[in-house]
Structure 1
């Protein structure tokens, strides 16, 4: 048995935090530059949209397998190796763009490989955090990571990516490659972060399928985490179904221009940033269970408001509150999971959450587009509201089990 120490956020967390900040900035830059690159090499809307699907597909294919490997391998070394490989892939993309050899197949292949690496790295990051942060500090640590993601990925990276692409199309991809190398160097400097809490000899290790099944069984038997995981999956389907054609909703229902639509989108990030600062305080003041229940009510009210509103200010206000909720919910649920899941299962259980999150989003996008074609732009919001009423009713009693360790001020 390996003894684990859980220091207060210090050098270990600072390295992890900085690594995620740097890589989030690079990811955000590529998120903007990628569609611009595809639009340069093809004018087919379906092919341009397919780039996002190519990046998400690995989560549907490999999430559970990646979780098992995160629990098998040294997580620190795994993150370092994956980040270096992702940096190499992006350097190849930058070289192809600079020499005029970029093509749709090449871009799809690169995005798919980057997505596959993401399933490993993101799962490993989540499993590493409880090894460098004390249990009572997890809300604060997750909030800092969430705020950093919002600032780096959603605020700073978007204009930076477009600006860099305007200078030279290869530059944003080269920058992202550098950020992965920097993140790898930072994680390589983490010390005394065990891969597992219990050393399992290779001779008695289960098959990959058995290890995945073990993680699924553990999650299913944990009443609170099972409820949170299912609620999150359904909520993602409802959210993405409602927001799949949000640009049409903004134009037809709210009467916004393209610029107005862009400003409306930023309200998500504004709410998320506020939520990062409020999560631990709300949990301390009202209790985690009450905050999670309030979040489900916010989901219902947000969808109802957007279904009936034609006022852009009211819609923007609802989205800001929704952004606060999503960040608070994510911070608190992550802390609950990180405290409850045994060290040797963190990768597998975390990968199930990743699968539900991405799988729910993909299903929601398809469902929302189909509903809007058959009916109108408000139908997905009505359906999402009723779906979240059902989720709230089903999860209400179980959420009383959400009782973490006290959060320090």
Structure 2
């Protein structure tokens, strides 16, 4: 057991809760899109459920940042986990309804409402959790804590959750959502046990716009973090597009059933686990700038592979490379932000950063679905499903050139 987990009770509870919460996220990663394919085969409608889950990052990230700096971050996590429990029960009810399966647009739109609310809870929980960590561990331990936390999240969310979801989905479409309700309940209970000093919110009683403008001013005064946020937006748009059509890619290009689709995501998660373990050492050896270049190269190679192959083994290797690259990017940039941003501004600055970095995800998801739908009549379903990955590979290649010029001082 790592020393930080052994000796820091708060971190031990936080990492355990994150494991359970991300187990639920990993199950949902398979269960939501697979349930959508049982309702319709329209790539735009299927992508819409993914876009709905990402849309809250565009709509609510900024106000959530102000709220995070004014509220009890621990209780924010508890309440959002309980909300996700309720949403899983609603999704389970939908999966049990014979009228919903094969119903088409009506059922998919209802599912999109559930994924939208699920994504809204995710925005609140993730921002609160990321700003909570510096209150749980000391500043010199942030890289180590982030690496361990993200590794556990990858193991639970990508290594265990997806194949478990595939097995449960093969038994009954409702089972994954029932399992998730237990995972989120246990996560909420563990977070509630964390003992923290009383949170000191932003002292000034300013209104929302004034409070938000403090975060914006701080970010504008730190151009390196601003550039990282914009680059992350481009990366995440491509990632969301690929994930939005991945379930169709797995079915129509790779020819995989539900259980094998879960295993595909698990093999991809191996790279995430390896990346989480290696990221602190890579960052220490290469430095921030070169580490980010390596991550961008990994994004380009993985998406290019997915854009050219129909082989499940190569696809699994590509997903592993993408996950490892994502872990390296996240460990380096999140630790840098947590160390640099003042604690009283952390929620607001993080919210602006995530607005820029994650707000493009629903647009990327919808764009990928529309691209596939537009190309399918002329190219056929298989070649059309390769297109979003080729676009993402080109974007990552351009970002490598941008990083060489614009990440001075990193």
TM-score of the superposed pair, with normalisation by structure 1: 0.81
Correspondence 1:126-275 to 2 at 5 A: 126-165=130-169, 167=171, 169-196=173-200, 200=203, 204-241=204-241, 245=245, 256-258=254-256, 265-275=265-275
Residue number in structure 1 paired with 2:285? 285
> Bigger shift: 46-55 or 213-222?
46-55
Contact conserved, 1:16 with 1:186, CA < 8 A, in 2? yes
Q: Tell me: CA distance 1:366–1:208, structure 2 relative to 1, closer, same or farther (3 Å).
A: same
1:315 to 1:24, Cα distance in 2 relative to 1, 3 A = closer
Pairing partner for 1:25 from 23, 26, 46:
23
CA contact (8 A) 1:9 1:134 kept: no
Match runs of 1:54-69 below 5 Å:
54-69=52-67
Which runs of no fewer than 5 residues in structure 2 stay unpaired? 101-105
**Paired residues for 1:83-94 under 5 Å:** 83-94=81-92
After superposition, give the CA deviation of every residue in 1:363-401 in whole Å (9 maximum; x if it has no partner).
223334455535865665555444334433333255343
In the alignment, structure 1 residue 123 sits paired with structure 2 residue 131: no
CA deviation after TM superposition for structure 1 residue 302, in Å:
4.3
Partner of 2:338: 338
Does 86-95 or 17-26 show the bigger shift? 86-95
Contact 2:298 2:322 in 1 (8 A): yes
1:216·1:349 contact (CA, 8 Å) conserved in 2?
A: yes
Q: Does 1:399 align with 2:407?
A: yes
Summarize the Cα distance change of 1:7–1:61 in structure 2 as closer, same or farther, 3 Å threshold. same
TM, length-normalised to structure 2: 0.80
1:298 matches 2:292:
no
**Cα RMSD over matched residues?**
3.6
SS of the equivalent of 1:30 reads: helix
Unaligned runs of 5+ in 1: 1-5, 403-409
Deviation (angstroms), 1:58 = 2.0
Question: CA separation of 1:338/1:9 partners in 2, compared to 1, >3 Å: closer, same or farther?
Answer: farther
Q: CA deviation at 1:251?
A: 8.8
Q: Is the 8 A contact 2:269 2:319 kept in 1?
A: no
Mapped partners of 2:28, 2:64: distance in 1: 23
CA contact (8 A) 1:76 1:193 kept: no
SS of equivalent residue, structure 2 residue 195: coil
Q: Are the structure 2 counterparts of residues 396 and 270 from structure 1 closer, same or farther at C-alpha, using a change threshold of 3 Å?
A: same
